[in-house]
C-alpha cells in the first residue's frame, strides 16, 4: 500500500526558500544543510520545481563519490566532454549551462554539493558570484566540502539553512496527511522516538509497517501495534548509514542495542575503553553526563533495531547475561537497576534467580507495567517462585482486564495463611465484579470471606475491598463508612490502603464533598507506589478524583490532575488509554467537544484490545457519545449510545446518571428539548435515590440549560450541601431563569465562563438574550447575542438548543421548534409522533402553524432555515 507523501510539515520552509530564490536581496540562492535523510533533497527539488512553474530555466545536478574524481564530473551529463585550460573551460561551461535560457531566470539545483570535484565547485562559485544563476544546493552536515562550496555561505553569497528533522507535532501532522485520518498520539510518539523525525526513515518505516499490517486502523483511529519493526528496506538504509563495523565495534553496538543507556565505566569493563572512544569518535555512540555519571547510547534508535534484528539468539542471550552480571557487580545504585537486571537475565543464558525475578515483577507492578510484571512473574513461577510470584501475576492479569483463572487456581492451592487467603479473595472479588461483570457473586464471596477471617488485619483489608466495591455500586455513604474504618487501622497494607482510598474518593466525589478528596487521593497514591499487586488501582482512584473535580466545577484542577497522570504513564498502553479518556472527559466538560472527541476516539481505539479492562471502555463510551452528539455526528452518537446501553457495566452503577445525561445531550443535539429534559430529570432522580448529590447538581443544571424552569428549589438546597462552584452557579442560574432576569443570567454566564464550563456559559448568555428580547431591551439583547457568538466560537463552533434559539430567533414556541427541527431532519409525522409520544394530528397541526409563520411549504425549506447539524459534523471530522 503506497502512500502519498506531501511533507506537509515543510510548507513554511518551502515558502521561505521560494522567496529566497526569487532574486530579492544580495543572495542568489540558498544552501540546505542537514543530516542524511532529513529531507534536504526533497526540499531542494521542490524549490527548483516551483521556480520552473514560474517560468525559470532550471538545471539539476548531483554530486557523487564516483564523479568526485573527474573534473566537472557532476556536470558531465549536461556539458559533455570539454577541454582546454581551466579558465577557458570554466567560462565555456558557464555559458553552456545557461544556453537556451534566453531572458528567463536560471535556477540550478545541486544535490550533495559537498561531493563536487574542485572544478565543479569553482564553476558553481563562478555562476553565483557573477549572477549567472540562482543556486539551490544541499550539503551534509559534518562532511568536508570543497573550499569554493563553503565559500558560498561563508562569504555571504548564499544563505545557509540548517534543515531540522521533523518535530513530534510535525511528524503527527505528516502521518495524518499521509494516512488520511486520525493517528493515535501514543503511536505518533513511538514513531517519532524511533525515527527522530528523519524524513527518509519515517517514510520507510510507515510504508513497511502498513504493508506488515502493524500500522492499521482500529475503530477509525490509526494505531501502531508493534514497537520493534524493521522492514528490509529500512534495515538496509540504516545499515549503510552505520557502515561496516569491526568486531570490537560491533560488540559495543550490540551491548547498547540490548540495553541502553549503559554507564561508560560498565561498558568499558564489558568491552575495551579504547574501542568505546573510537565508537564515540565515529559517531556510532554518544555520551551524556547525568550528575557525576557518564552514560552511553547509540547515536540513533534505529541502529539498535538493526543490530538486534541481525543478532543471533545465542549471542543475544550471552550478552544479556554479561550485562546483567555486570549490573549486579556495580550494585543497585538506582531504583530500577533490579528491574533491568531481571529483564536481561530473563532472556539470557543465566540460571533463573527466582528471588530476583519475583522482586522485579513486584517492582514492575508498582510502576504499573503490568505486561512486564506478568512476564517476570511467570518466569519466577517456573523457577519455583511460589505464592508471591503467582499473586503478582494474577493481580496483573486482572489489572489488564483479564480473568486470571489459571493463576487463581494455583494461588488457591498455595495459599496457606489467613493473610494469603485474604490477598487471593481480593483478587477474586476484583475479577468477579469488574472483569467478569458479576458484582453479586463478588459481594457474596466477600461476605463469605468476612465471616471466615478472624484476624483483625485481614478483616480490615476485606473492609477496604468492600469500600471500593460499594463506591462503584453507587452506595457512597457506605463506601465512606467502610473506608474510614479500614483506614483507621495502623497495620493496613499498601494494597488495601489504595482500595480504601479509591472507595473513599468515590464516595466523596459523588456525594459532593470534593474539597475533602485531596488528602485521601494523596494517601492512596503513596500506597500505590508501594503495592506489588494493586498499584493499578491508582487509575480508577484518579478517575474518581477527576470525576469529583468535574462535578464540583473545579475544571482547571481536573485538567492538571490528568496531565500529571498522563506524564507518569508514558509507554504503558492501558494506562495511556485511560489518561486519554480522562483528558477527553475533562475537555468536554470545559465546552470543547471537537478537541475532546479526538482524545476520546483515541482512548476508545486503544481500549479495544483490553477486553472489559475493568469497565474503562464502558466509561469511555459515555463522554464519547456526548462529544459525537455535540459535534453533529448524530448517527455515530446513536450507535455509541446503543452500544453503551447494551454494555452497561453492572458494577459501575455510580456512572448511571452520567449515562442518562449522555442520552439527554443526544436528544438535545437532535432538537428534542422535551426528551433532553426528561433524560436529565431521570438522571437527577437516579442520583438522588443513591445519595449522589454532585451528580444530581450536574443533571439538574443540564435540564436547566435545556430550558427546564422547575429545578430552582432543589438546586437552591443542593447549593448548601455540595462543594465547589458548580452548585452555587447552577442555583443562581435557576433563580435567574425562573425570574426571567436578563442581567442576572448574563452575570451567571460570566461566572460559568470563569469556572471553565463554556457551553453552560453560552447557554446562560443565550437565555439572557431571550429574556432581554421579551423585556424589549434590544441593545442588551444584541450584546448578549454577541457574547453567545463569542462563546460559541470558543466552544469550537458547537451550538446547543439555547444558543441556536438566540442566534437564530424564530416566531415559534419550544414545541413548534422541536417538531419543526425533527421534520427538517427528514422524520415522518408518524416518527415524530412516536418520538414525542403525541398524536399524528398534533404533529400535523404544529407543522401547519410553523409553515404559516415561517412562510415555508415543506421539509426542504424548513431544513434550509433551521439546519440539521451536518456542517458541524463535517467540522468535527
DSSP one-letter string for 750-802: HHHHHHT-HHHHHHHHHHHHHHHHHTT-HHHHHHHHHHHHHHHHHTTT---HH
pLDDT in tens, 760-803: 999 999 999 999 999 999 899 999 999 999 999 999 998 888 88
Predicted confidence (pLDDT) at residue 418 exceeds the cutoff of 70 = yes
Beta-bridged to residue 286, according to DSSP, are: 297
Q: Report whether 302 contacts 310 (CB < 8 A).
A: no
Q: Cα–Cα distance between 503 and 484 in angstroms, integer?
A: 10
> 9 pLDDT exceeds 60?
yes
Higher-pLDDT residue of 762, 842: 762
pLDDT of amino acid 84: 65
Assigned C-alpha cell, 337: 537497576
Contact 264, 296 (CB under 8 A): yes
Contact predicate 96/59, CB 8 Å: no
Q: DSSP assignment of 264-281, as one string? A: HHHHHHHS-HHHHHHHHH
Q: Is the pLDDT of residue 57 over 70?
A: yes
Q: What is the mean pLDDT of the chain?
A: 89
Q: What is the CATH number of domain 8-162?
A: 3.40.50.300
pLDDT tens-digit series, residues 320-349: 999 999 988 876 556 578 899 999 999 999
Residue that the C-alpha cell 558557464 belongs to: 94
The whole-number pLDDT of residue 875 equals 39
Residues of the chain above pLDDT 70, percent: 95
Identify the pLDDT of residue 869: 42
> Which of the four pLDDT bands, split at 50, 70 and 90, describes residue 229?
low
Degrees, nearest 5: CA angle 141-113-203 = 60
Helices marked H in 590-615 = 593-606
The grid cell for 570 is 508514558
Which residues of the chain does CATH 1.10.10.10 include? 814-876
Q: Which residue, among 702, 630, 703, has the nearest Cα to 670 in the 3D structure?
A: 630
Q: Is the pLDDT of residue 873 over 50?
A: no
Query: Nearest CA to 517 among 496, 530, 501, 494?
Result: 501
**Dist CA 798 CA 816 (whole Å):** 22
Instruction: Give me the mean pLDDT over the 635-650 stretch.
Output: 92
How far apart (Å, rounded) are the C-alpha atoms in residues 180 and 169?
Answer: 16
Which of 261, 329, 324, 322 lies closest to 296 in space, CA to CA?
261
Q: CA nearest 698: which of 618, 773, 631, 755?
A: 755
| Cα 470 to Cα 503: distance, rounded to the nearest angstrom | 7
Question: What is the arithmetic mean of pLDDT over 369-376?
Answer: 93
Beta bridge partners of 288: 295
Distance CA 626, CA 588 (A): 9
Least confident of 1-15, 34-48, 372-386, 590-604: 1-15
- Strands across the sheet containing 29-34: 57-62, 106-111, 134-140, 29-34, 159-162
pLDDT in tens, 90-126: 888 888 888 887 888 889 999 999 999 998 899 999 8
How does residue 467 score in pLDDT terms, banded at 50, 70 and 90? Answer: very high
pLDDT band at 872 (very low <50, low <70, confident <90, very high): very low
The pLDDT, as a whole number, for residue 819 is 78
Q: What is the pLDDT of residues 380-390, one digit of tens each?
A: 999 998 899 99
Q: How far apart are CA 150 and CA 48, in angstroms?
A: 21
Core vs surface per residue 729-751: b (16+ CB within 10 A) or e: bbbbbbbbbeebbbebbbbbbeb
Cα–Cα distance for residue pair 286/277, rounded to 1 Å = 10
Mean pLDDT (whole number) for 275-286: 93
506 contacts 522 by C-beta, under 8 angstroms: no
Mean pLDDT of 643-656: 93
CATH code that applies to domain 814-876: 1.10.10.10
pLDDT at site 414: 77
Residue located via cell numbers 474518581: 544
Cα–Cα distance, 73 to 79 (Å, whole number):
10
Q: Is pLDDT of 27 > 60?
A: no
Of the chain, the percentage scoring pLDDT greater than 90 comes to: 57
DSSP one-letter string for 299-314? SSHHHHHHHHHHS-HH
How far apart CA 450 and CA 447 sit, in angstroms, is: 5
Q: Is the pLDDT of residue 877 over 60?
A: no
Model confidence at 870: pLDDT above 60? no
Instruction: Note the helical H segments in 155-300.
Output: 168-179, 185-195, 199-211, 232-242, 247-258, 264-270, 273-281
Contacts of 10 (CB under 8 A, 6+ apart): 39, 42, 43, 46
Give the pLDDT band of residue 808 (cuts 50, 70, 90): confident
Give the position of cell 569553482. 122
CA distance 473 to 526: 25
Within its chain, how far is the Cα of 120 from the centroid?
50
Q: What is the pLDDT of residue 25?
A: 52
* Cα–Cα–Cα angle for 489, 491, 495, rounded to 5 degrees: 95
- How many residues belong to the chain? 877
Band of the pLDDT at 2, cuts 50, 70, 90?
very low
Which pLDDT does position 13 carry in this prediction?
A: 76
- On whether the CB atoms of residues 39 and 88 are closer than 8 A, the answer is no
Copy the grid coordinates of residue 686.
Answer: 437516579
CATH of 415-552, one of 1.10.8, 1.25.40, 1.10.730, 1.10.10: 1.25.40
Confidence (pLDDT) at 779:
92
Q: Which whole-number Å values give the CA distances from 408 to 423, 431, 640, 853, in the listed order?
A: 11, 10, 34, 70
pLDDT reading at 876 higher than 70:
no
Q: Which of 22-26, 81-85, 511-515, 818-822: highest mean pLDDT?
A: 511-515
Which of 449, 429, 448 has the alpha carbon at shortest distance from 439? 429
Among 31-35, 275-279, 281-285, 501-505, which range has the highest average pLDDT?
501-505
C-alpha cell at 85: 585550460
Location of each CATH 1.25.40 domain in the chain: 415-552, 558-650
Q: What is the pLDDT of residues 524-572, one digit of tens each?
A: 999 999 999 999 999 999 999 999 999 999 999 999 999 999 998 888 8
For domain 558-650, the CATH class is mainly alpha
So what's the pLDDT on residue 864? 73
pLDDT at 612 over 70: no
Between 197-201, 456-460, 642-646, 854-858, the lowest mean confidence (pLDDT) is in 854-858
Alpha-carbon distance values, 611 to 100, 437, 534, 558, 579 (Å): 69, 12, 19, 27, 17
- How many Cα atoms sit within 13 Å of 663 on the Cβ side? 19
| Residues 6 or more apart in contact with residue 709 via CB below 8 angstroms | 734, 737, 738
Q: Tell me, what's the pLDDT at 466? A: 97
Whole-angstrom distance, CA of residue 353 vs CA of residue 341: 11
Of 61-70, 780-789, 804-813, 865-874, give the lowest mean pLDDT range.
Answer: 865-874
Parts of the chain belonging to CATH 3.40.50.300: 8-162
Q: What does residue 108 show for φ and ψ, rounded to 5 degrees? A: -110, 125
Cβ count within 10 A of residue 366: 21
Answer whether the bond into residue 261 is a cis peptide, omega within 30°.
Answer: yes
Answer whether residue 247 shows pLDDT above 90: yes
Please, are residues 745 and 771 in contact by the beta-carbon 8 Å criterion? yes
Least confident of 182-186, 405-409, 583-587, 656-660: 405-409
Q: Cβ distance 706 to 676 under 8 Å?
A: yes
Question: Is residue 626 within 8 Å of residue 663, measured between CB atoms?
Answer: no
**Residues 6 or more apart whose Cβ sits within 8 Å of residue 104:** 55, 56, 57
* Residue carrying C-alpha cell 505486561: 371
First to last CA, the chain: 24
Rounded distance, CA 403 to CA 439, Å? 14
- In whole angstroms, what is the distance from residue 751 CA to residue 739 CA? 18
Query: What average pLDDT score do residues 796-819 get?
Result: 81
Half-sphere exposure of 341 (CA within 13 A, CB side): 26
Amino acid at each position: 500500500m503506497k502512500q502519498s507523501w506531501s511533507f506537509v510539515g515543510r510548507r513554511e520552509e518551502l515558502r521561505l526558500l521560494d522567496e529566497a530564490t526569487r532574486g530579492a536581496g544580495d543572495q542568489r540562492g540558498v544552501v540546505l544543510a542537514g543530516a542524511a535523510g532529513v529531507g534536504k533533497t526533497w526540499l531542494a527539488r521542490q524549490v527548483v520545481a516551483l521556480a520552473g512553474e514560474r517560468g525559470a530555466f532550471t538545471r539539476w545536478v548531483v554530486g557523487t563519490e564516483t564523479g568526485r574524481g573527474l573534473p566537472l564530473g557532476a556536470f558531465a551529463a549536461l556539458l559533455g566532454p570539454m577541454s582546454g585550460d581551466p579558465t577557458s573551460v570554466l567560462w565555456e561551461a558557464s555559458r553552456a549551462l545557461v544556453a537556451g535560457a534566453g531572458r528567463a531566470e536560471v535556477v540550478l539545483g545541486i544535490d550533495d554539493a559537498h561531493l563536487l570535484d574542485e572544478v565543479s565547485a569553482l564553476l558553481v562559485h563562478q555562476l553565483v558570484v557573477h549572477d549567472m544563476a540562482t543556486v539551490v544546493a544541499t550539503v551534509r552536515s559534518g562532511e568536508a566540502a570543497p573550499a569554493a562550496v563553503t565559500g558560498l555561505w561563508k562569504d555571504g553569497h548564499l544563505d545557509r539553512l540548517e534543515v531540522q528533522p521533523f518535530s513530534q507535532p510535525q511528524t503527527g501532522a505528516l502521518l495524518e496527511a499521509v494516512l488520511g485520518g486520525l493517528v493515535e498520539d501514543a503511536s505518533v510518539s513511538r514513531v517519532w522516538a524511533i525515527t527522530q523525525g528523519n524524513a527518509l526513515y519515517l517514510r520507510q518505516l510507515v510504508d513497511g509497517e502498513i504493508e506488515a499490517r502493524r500500522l492499521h486502523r482500529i475503530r477509525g483511529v490509526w494505531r501502531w501495534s508493534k514497537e520493534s519493526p524493521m522492514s528490509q528496506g529500512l534495515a538496509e538504509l540504516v545499515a549503510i548509514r552505520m557502515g561496516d563495523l569491526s568486531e570490537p565495534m560491533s560488540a559495543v553496538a550490540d551491548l547498547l542495542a540490548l540495553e541502553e543507556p549503559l554507564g561508560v565505566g560498565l561498558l568499558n569493563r564489558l568491552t575495551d575503553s579504547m574501542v568505546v572512544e573510537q565508537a564515540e569518535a565515529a559517531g556510532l555512540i554518544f555520551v551524556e553526563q547525568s550528575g557525576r555519571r557518564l552514560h552511553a547510547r547509540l547515536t540513533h534508535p534505529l541502529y539498535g533495531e538493526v543490530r538486534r534484528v541481525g543478532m543471533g539468539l545465542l549471542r543475544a542471550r550471552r550478552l544479556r547475561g554479561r550485562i546483567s552480571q555486570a549490573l549486579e557487580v556495580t550494585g543497585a545504585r538506582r531504583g530500577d537497576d533490579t528491574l533491568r537486571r531481571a529483564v536481561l537475565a530473563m532472556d539470557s543464558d543465566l540460571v533463573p534467580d527466582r528471588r530476583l525475578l519475583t522482586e522485579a515483577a513486584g517492582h514492575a507492578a508498582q510502576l504499573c507495567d503490568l505486561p512486564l510484571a506478568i512476564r517476570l512473574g511467570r518466569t519466577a513461577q517456573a523457577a519455583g517462585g511460589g505464592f508471591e510470584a503467582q499473586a503478582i501475576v494474577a493481580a496483573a492479569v486482572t489489572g489488564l482486564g483479564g480473568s486470571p483463572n489459571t493463576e487463581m487456581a494455583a494461588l488457591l492451592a498455595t495459599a496457606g495463611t489467613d493473610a494469603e487467603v485474604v490477598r487471593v479473595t481480593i483478587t477474586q472479588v476484583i475479577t468477579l465484579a469488574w472483569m467478569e461483570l458479576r458484582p453479586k457473586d463478588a459481594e457474596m464471596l466477600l461476605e463469605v470471606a468476612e465471616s471466615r477471617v478472624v484476624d483483625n488485619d485481614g478483616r480490615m483489608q476485606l473492609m477496604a475491598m468492600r469500600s471500593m466495591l460499594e463506591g462503584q455500586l453507587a452506595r457512597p455513604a457506605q463506601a465512606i463508612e467502610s473506608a474510614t474504618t479500614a483506614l483507621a487501622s495502623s497495620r493496613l497494607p499498601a494494597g488495601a490502603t489504595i482500595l480504601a482510598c479509591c472507595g473513599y474518593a468515590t464516595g466523596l466525589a459523588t456525594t459532593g464533598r470534593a474539597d475533602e478528596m485531596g488528602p485521601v487521593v494523596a494517601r492512596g497514591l503513596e500506597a500505590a507506589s508501594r503495592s506489588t499487586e494493586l498499584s493499578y488501582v491508582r487509575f480508577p482512584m484518579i478517575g474518581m478524583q477527576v470525576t469529583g473535580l468535574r462535578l464540583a466545577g473545579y475544571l482547571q484542577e481536573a485538567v492538571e490532575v490528568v496531565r500529571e497522570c498522563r506524564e507518569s504513564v508514558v509507554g504503558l498502553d492501558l494506562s495511556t488509554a485511560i489518561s486519554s479518556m480522562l483528558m477527553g472527559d475533562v475537555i468536554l466538560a470545559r465546552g470543547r467537544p471537537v478537541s475532546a472527541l479526538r482524545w476520546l476516539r483515541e482512548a476508545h481505539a486503544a481500549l479495544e484490545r483490553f477486553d472489559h479492562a475493568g469497565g474503562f471502555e464502558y466509561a469511555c463510551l459515555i463522554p464519547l457519545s456526548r462529544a459525537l452528539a455535540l459535534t453533529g455526528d448524530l448517527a455515530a452518537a446513536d450507535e455509541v449510545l446503543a452500544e453503551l446501553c447494551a454494555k452497561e457495566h453492572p458494577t459501575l452503577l455510580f456512572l448511571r446518571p452520567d449515562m442518562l445525561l449522555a442520552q439527554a445531550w443526544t436528544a438535545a443535539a437532535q432538537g428534542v428539548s422535551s426528551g433532553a429534559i426528561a433524560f436529565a430529570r431521570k438522571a437527577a432522580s437516579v442520583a438522588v435515590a443513591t445519595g449522589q448529590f454532585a451528580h444530581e447538581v450536574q443533571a439538574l443544571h443540564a435540564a436547566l440549560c435545556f430550558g427546564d424552569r422547575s429545578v430552582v428549589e432543589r438546586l437552591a438546597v443542593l447549593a448548601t450541601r455540595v462543594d465547589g462552584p458548580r452548585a452555587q452557579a447552577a442555583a443562581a442560574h435557576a433563580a435567574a431563569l425562573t425570574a426571567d432576569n436578563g442581567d442576572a443570567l448574563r452575570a451567571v454566564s460570566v461566572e460559568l465562563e470563569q469556572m471553565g464550563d463554556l457551553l453552560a456559559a453560552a447557554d446562560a448568555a443565550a437565555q439572557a438574550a431571550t429574556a432581554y428580547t421579551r423585556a424589549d431591551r434590544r441593545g442588551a439583547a444584541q450584546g448578549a447575542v454577541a457574547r453567545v457568538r463569542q462563546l460559541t466560537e470558543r466552544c469550537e463552533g458547537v451550538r446547543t438548543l439555547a444558543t441556536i434559539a438566540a442566534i437564530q430567533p424564530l416566531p415559534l414556541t419550544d414545541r413548534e421548534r422541536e417538531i419543526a427541527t425533527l421534520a427538517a431532519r427528514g422524520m415522518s409525522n408518524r416518527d415524530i409522533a412516536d418520538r414525542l409520544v403525541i398524536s399524528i394530528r398534533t404533529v400535523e397541526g404544529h407543522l401547519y402553524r410553523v409553515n404559516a409563520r415561517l412562510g415555508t411549504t415543506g421539509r426542504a425549506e424548513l431544513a434550509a432555515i433551521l439546519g440539521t447539524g451536518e456542517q458541524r459534523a463535517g467540522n468535527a471530522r
